[in-house]
């Protein structure tokens, strides 16, 4: 007797401070690969983010509302513990460069050690997005540069509403 395959549920974790078009590329592709994709904002008290977790969740929900199999959530603590609670069997990670891969490989191997039933899938950034990072977006915006091609319009609007003016 054949068993029906279980739908594959994946988690794409990150800080998303702010959400970039590179993140959107990975999310859109992940949504095509998996029956359910949970985009999860990491709650990390050690970092000083520009946007609160609630603001980041709201931005993600607004921008991703057209993807019916994508949900937005937040978490803290061990990713594999959270993934288990969400019944996810895959962790999605975006890779922009070799330097990303080295760090992400260490994390994937540790996650496998902690929870062997959860696989990590690396998605290479699209060529147009391989240089974009949230940190660079904030820096370019802070210095008065145009970020229209780097983030969704809703995110650019929220960045404009934040005070990112030089202090001198």
Query: Is residue 66 flagged as an active site residue?
Result: no
**Residue 101 counted as domain residue:** yes
Query: Is residue 23 flagged as an active site residue?
Result: yes
Give the pLDDT band (50/70/90) at residue 80. Answer: very high
Beta bridge partners of 122: 93
For residue 34, the Cα-to-chain-centroid distance in whole angstroms is 15
Query: Is residue 165 flagged as an active site residue?
Result: no
**Residue 167 counted as domain residue:** no
**Residue 1 counted as domain residue:** no
Tell me what the pLDDT averaged over the chain comes to: 91
pLDDT at 79 exceeding the cut of 70: yes
Q: Tokens for 33?
A: 């690969």
pTM higher than the cut 0.85: yes
Q: Of 96, 112, 142, 162, which is the active-site residue? A: 96
Give the pLDDT band (50/70/90) at residue 125. Answer: confident
Whats the size of the chain, residue-wise?
168
Query: Is residue 86 flagged as an active site residue?
Result: no
**Residue 46 counted as domain residue:** yes
Q: Of 9, 134, 138, 158, which is the active-site residue? A: 134
Q: At what angle do helices 53-64 and 153-161 cross, to 10 degrees?
A: 150
Q: What is the mean pLDDT of residues 132-140?
A: 91
Q: Of 3, 4, 47, 99, which is the active-site residue? A: 47
Q: Tokens for 30?
A: 């992940």
Q: In which domain, by residue range, is 100 found?
A: 9-161
**Residue 4 counted as domain residue:** no
The pLDDT value recorded for residue 128 is 87
Q: Of 23, 56, 93, 158, which is the active-site residue? A: 23
Q: Tokens for 157?
A: 């609007």
The pLDDT value recorded for residue 55 is 96
Q: List, edge to edge, every strand of the sheet that includes 70-75.
A: 70-75, 36-42, 9-14, 90-95, 119-124
The pLDDT value recorded for residue 104 is 93
- Provide the CATH number for the domain around residue 136: 3.40.50.620
**Residue 156 counted as domain residue:** yes
pLDDT at 167 exceeding the cut of 60: no
Say how far apart CA 156 and CA 138 lie, in whole Å: 10
The pLDDT value recorded for residue 100 is 84
Give the pLDDT band (50/70/90) at residue 48. Answer: confident
- Render pLDDT for 31-42 as a digit per residue (tens, 0 to 9): 999 999 999 999
**Residue 168 counted as domain residue:** no
Give the pLDDT band (50/70/90) at residue 96. Answer: confident
Q: How many domains does the chain have?
A: 1
Q: What is the mean pLDDT of residues 26-55?
A: 93
């Amino acid at each position: 007797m054949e068993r029906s395959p279980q739908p594959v549920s994946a988690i794409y974790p990150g800080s998303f401070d702010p959400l970039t078009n590179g993140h959107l590329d990975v999310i859109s592709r992940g949504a095509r690969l998996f029956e359910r994709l949970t985009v999860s904002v990491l709650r990390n008290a050690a970092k000083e983010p520009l946007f609160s977790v609630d603001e980041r969740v709201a931005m993600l929900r607004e921008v991703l509302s057209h993807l019916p199999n994508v949900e937005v959530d937040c978490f803290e603590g061990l990713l594999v513990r959270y993934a288990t609670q969400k019944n996810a069997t895959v962790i999605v990670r975006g890779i922009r460069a070799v330097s990303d891969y080295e760090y992400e490989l260490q994390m994937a191997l540790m996650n496998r050690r902690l929870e062997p039933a959860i696989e990590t899938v690396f998605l290479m950034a699209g060529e147009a997005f391989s240089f974009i990072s949230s940190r660079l977006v904030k820096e370019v915006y802070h210095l008065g540069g145009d970020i229209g091609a780097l983030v969704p319009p809703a995110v650019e609007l929220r960045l404009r509403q934040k005070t990112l003016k030089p202090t001198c």
